[in-house]
Structures are given as structure tokens and as C-alpha cells.
Amino acid sequence: MTDAVLTLNAGSSSLKFALFARRDTGVTELFHGQIEGVQSAPHMIARDAAGVILTEQRWAPDSGMNHEAFLAPLLAFVEAHRGGRP
């Protein structure tokens, strides 16, 4: 894949994301998901374009992580899955 666009939508207690790839045939979604319960009981789930779960992860309720802290695990996931592979 040569071109990709990562979209992020930060809400008050969630971080939604989606990765799209630009190919000769157009733009296709590779995956989407969210980290919900930021600052309370964080939980990340990501699904491919067909809705199949690619990952699900939970952090301790007292982790003290904020939106910014979740960028590192999110970007690591994106890097591992940006080619559309599980």
C-alpha cells in the first residue's frame, strides 16, 4: 500500500479511528474501531471492513491514561495492520 489515511475522532471519553487505503480502484477501509472508557475503564476494539474483530484489549481501570497516552498503542496497531493483514 502506498497511500493511507488514518482518521481520529477524540470525544470526551473515547477515541475512534479508521484507516483507509488509496488503491487504483479507489479508497477502501482497512479497519475501524475505538478506544472507549478513556480515564475510567479503557477498552480498545478494532474490526476489519467486514466487521471481523482484529484486536480487543483492556487496560486497568486505574491506569491513569488519557487520550494522548493511547496514541502509542493505537499507532503500533496501525503499523502492524496497515497493509490490510490481520
> What pLDDT digit, counting tens, does each position of 21-77 carry?
888 888 889 999 999 999 889 999 999 999 999 999 999 988 888 889 999 999 999
Q: Taking a C-beta distance cutoff of 8 angstroms, is the pair 55, 48 a contact?
A: no
Domains plus CATH for the chain? 3-81 (3.30.420.40)
| Triad 48, 29, 24: Cα angle to 5° | 135
Write the single-letter amino acid at 66. N
State pTM to two decimals: 0.86
Q: How far apart are CA 60 and CA 54, in angstroms?
A: 21
From first CA to last CA, the distance across the chain in angstroms is 15
